[in-house]
Chain A
C-alpha cells in the first residue's frame, strides 16, 4: 500500500471502479458500526412504514464507503480533510452499488475527488472528497 504523491495526480484522472454488493449484513452492520440504531436501517417493517420496500443504508455507511473508495486509491497516508455528500435514492439489500470517481481539482497539495454511487434506483450518492497528499 503506497500513497500517491501530489505531483503524480492530474485533474481528470479516473479512479478504479468499485462495485459493492449491498447485503442486509452491510446495511445493518454499517448502521450498528456507526452506532445508528434508527429502526429503518435494521427493521424492514419500520422501513416499509416509511414507504420503502426494505431496510436502507444509513448516511454514515455511505460516507464510510465513499471515504474508503478514495483512500484505497490515494493510499493510507493521504489525509482526508473534508467531504460533501448529497444523497439520492435509497440503497437496499440485493442491489449493487457502483462507485466511480474522478479527480476534479488538484491544487496546493490537495485533491478533490468527485465520487458517484449508482444502483438500480438511479443515483444513490454524489460526493466530493478532499484529500491532502504528500509531495506537493
Chain B
C-alpha cells in the first residue's frame, strides 16, 4: 500500500501524461503483405478469398487482395522487442506504465477497444499510427485488483497521409490480487481453477444457518423469549432483546416481494442473467435469494415461489427459489 503522500505524488506524475502523444508517429516495419495476412488467416480460421486468393480477389469490389480489417493494429505492433517488457521505457506510454509498475501496479490487462475503418488495406500500403494518451481514470477497484484505466487513441494513416481509421484502446494497470501457485506437484501443469460462487462471510452468529443449508434445510431463527421469527440470523431479538433462540424449518413457500435482473458485469462462477429476489416466506420473514427455472421476462412481483436447497459443484449449498405451480 502506498502512503497518501506517495499516492498523491504518483497521481500527479501519471495525470501529467494525459493528452501527450506517446512519441513520434510510428510507421509499421513492413508494408501490408501476403505472408503476414496468411499467417493471420491461419490462426483465425479465415477463409475469405478476398484475403487469400489473388485471382478471386481481383473480381471482388476491392479489385485485389486486401488485409482483414481487424488486422489494422497488427501492422504497427512493435513485435519481438515487446517480449522484453519495458524496464527501459521506449516511449511515453512505457514511461507511464513503468511509473505504475514501480509503484506496485504490475499487472496489465486490455479491457476494451473500439475501432473504425475508413477503407480496407491493400498490398503495399504503409501504415502509420499516431497515438495519444487520451485519458487516465481515477483509481478503481476491479475483480483483477486495484488500478487505473488508461485509454489511448491511435489514428492510422497511409503512405499519402490519408486516414485509414482510428482505434481507442483501454488497459487496466493494476496491483494483482493474488499470484497463482506456479504448478501442481505431479507434472507441473497448472490447471485453471474452476471459478465458483463467492462465499458469504460465516461466523459464530450465522454459520449454523449455512450448515443447515448443507443438511438440506431452510431454517428460520426463533426468539427464545417472545418466539418472534427473524432472518437473517443475528444474536439478539429486535422485539424483546432476548439472546436466547432456536430455529424452525421453513416450508420454503413464499411470494416474490421484489427483484432485479443482473446481466452485467458477468462474474465467473455464476450463471447469467441472475434474477436477484427478495422473497416473503409464508412464516413471515423476508429472505434474499435468487430465482431459477423461470425466464426473467416472466417474473412478476407477488408470484408464488418455492424455495429449495441448491448445491453447487464445489458442495456449497444455499436456498434458491422456483416458480410454485400450486396456488394453495
A12 in contact (CB, < 8 A): no
Partner of A37, one of B79, B117, B192, B270: B79
Q: Which residues of B contact A82 (CB under 8 A)?
A: 114-117
Residue interface mask A15-53, B partner, CB < 8 A = 1 = 000001000001001101111111100111100111111
Binding site for A on B (CB under 8 A): 36, 39-40, 42-50, 60-61, 68-71, 73-74, 77-83, 85, 106-117, 120, 144-145, 169, 176-180, 182, 190-195, 264-270, 272
Q: Which residues of A contact B107 (CB under 8 A)?
A: 50-51
Structural contact, A80 and B60, CB atoms closer than 8 A:
no
Q: Which residue of B lies closest to A84 (CB)?
A: B114
Structural contact, A66 and B192, CB atoms closer than 8 A:
no
Structural contact, B60 and A37, CB atoms closer than 8 A:
no
Structural contact, B48 and A50, CB atoms closer than 8 A:
no
Residue interface mask A56-90, B partner, CB < 8 A = 1 = 00111101111110011000110111111111110
Structural contact, B195 and A121, CB atoms closer than 8 A:
yes
- Cα–Cα distance between A59 and B61 once the two chains are bound (Å): 29
- Cα–Cα distance between A58 and B109 once the two chains are bound (Å): 9
Q: Which residues of A contact B269 (CB under 8 A)?
A: 122
Considering only residues 80-113 of chain A, those with a C-beta below 8 Å from chain B are 80-89, 92, 94-95
17 examples of A-B residue contacts, CB within 8 angstroms: A1-B49, A37-B80, A44-B190, A49-B106, A50-B176, A51-B180, A63-B113, A65-B45, A68-B45, A77-B61, A83-B115, A85-B112, A85-B114, A87-B109, A89-B266, A120-B192, A122-B269
Q: Which residues of A contact B120 (CB under 8 A)?
A: 79
A123 in contact (CB, < 8 A): yes
Partner of B117, one of A42, A65, A80, A134: A80
A54 in contact (CB, < 8 A): yes
Q: Which residues of A contact B145 (CB under 8 A)?
A: 51
Q: Which residues of B contact A80 (CB under 8 A)?
A: 69-70, 117
- Cα–Cα distance between A55 and B109 once the two chains are bound (Å): 12
Task: Identify the 6 closest CB pairs spanning chains A and B, nearest first.
Answer: A35-B77, A67-B70, A123-B266, A37-B82, A37-B83, A64-B44
CB distance from A126 to the nearest CB of B (A): 8
Q: Which residues of A contact B264 (CB under 8 A)?
A: 123
Structural contact, B110 and A58, CB atoms closer than 8 A:
yes
- Cα–Cα distance between A37 and B110 once the two chains are bound (Å): 14
Structural contact, A120 and B194, CB atoms closer than 8 A:
yes
- Cα–Cα distance between A13 and B319 once the two chains are bound (Å): 37
Q: Which residue of A lies closest to B46 (CB)?
A: A68
Q: Which residues of B contact A34 (CB under 8 A)?
A: 40, 71, 73-74, 77
Structural contact, A1 and B48, CB atoms closer than 8 A:
yes
Structural contact, B48 and A76, CB atoms closer than 8 A:
yes
Q: Which residues of A contact B194 (CB under 8 A)?
A: 120
Structural contact, B111 and A86, CB atoms closer than 8 A:
yes
Partner of B190, one of A33, A53, A77: A53
Structural contact, A33 and B74, CB atoms closer than 8 A:
yes
Structural contact, A48 and B190, CB atoms closer than 8 A:
yes
- Cα–Cα distance between A125 and B191 once the two chains are bound (Å): 22
- Cα–Cα distance between A15 and B135 once the two chains are bound (Å): 35
Partner of B73, one of A30, A48, A60: A60
- Cα–Cα distance between A29 and B192 once the two chains are bound (Å): 20
- Cα–Cα distance between A29 and B39 once the two chains are bound (Å): 8
Q: Which residues of B contact A123 (CB under 8 A)?
A: 264, 266, 272
Given contact pairs A34-B40, A34-B74, A52 touches B111 in the complex (Cβ within 8 A)? no
Partner of A60, one of B74, B83, B108: B74
Q: Which residues of A contact B70 (CB under 8 A)?
A: 60, 63-64, 66-68, 80, 83
- Cα–Cα distance between A97 and B2 once the two chains are bound (Å): 39
- Cα–Cα distance between A67 and B90 once the two chains are bound (Å): 31
Structural contact, B43 and A30, CB atoms closer than 8 A:
yes
Q: Which residues of A contact B48 (CB under 8 A)?
A: 1, 71, 76
Among B45, B69, B111, B179, the one with the most A-chain Cβ atoms within 10 Å of its Cβ is B69
Known A87-B110, A122-B272; further 16 A-B contacts with Cβ < 8 A:
A1-B47, A30-B43, A33-B36, A50-B106, A50-B107, A50-B108, A60-B71, A64-B43, A65-B45, A80-B117, A83-B114, A84-B114, A85-B114, A88-B265, A88-B266, A89-B268
